[in-house]
Amino acid sequence: MNWNKLTEDNQLSEIKSLSKEMPVLIFKHSTRCSISSMALERLSRKWKEEDNEKIAPFYLDLISFRQLSDLVAREFGVPHESPQLLVVKNGVAVYHASHFDISYADLFGKL
């Protein structure tokens, strides 16, 4: 999986712009949480190379970038959870899931 690292506030405007061309996935990961690690592994294991042409994946380490994670929550109107997956289209979060609800099939069913 070719993750784009989400590490700076100004990337949110880039994500909103990109989401007008293709959906954007934001995965908020807690490196201290086994459930988050499991959700990330399940998603990564099923990811196919051609999926990168359908959706742009961004990875946010919320332990290192907690303020940015809070900004994502405010910008897209989705309360913070961890782990959390958001899909952004046309600058708006159109889908989100957390914990055991994070699923590859559900993600691509929403595109």
DSSP string, the chain: --PEE--STTHHHHHHHHTTTS-EEEEEE-TT-HHHHHHHHHHHHH--GGGGGT-EEEEEETTTTHHHHHHHHHHHT----SSEEEEEETTEEEEEEEGGG--HHHHHH--
Please state whether the predicted TM-score (pTM) of the whole model is above 0.75: yes
- What top-level class would CATH report for the domain 4-109? alpha beta
What does the domain layout of the chain look like in residue ranges? 4-109
The string of pLDDT tens digits covering residues 27-79 is 999 999 999 999 999 999 999 999 999 999 999 999 999 999 999 999 999 99
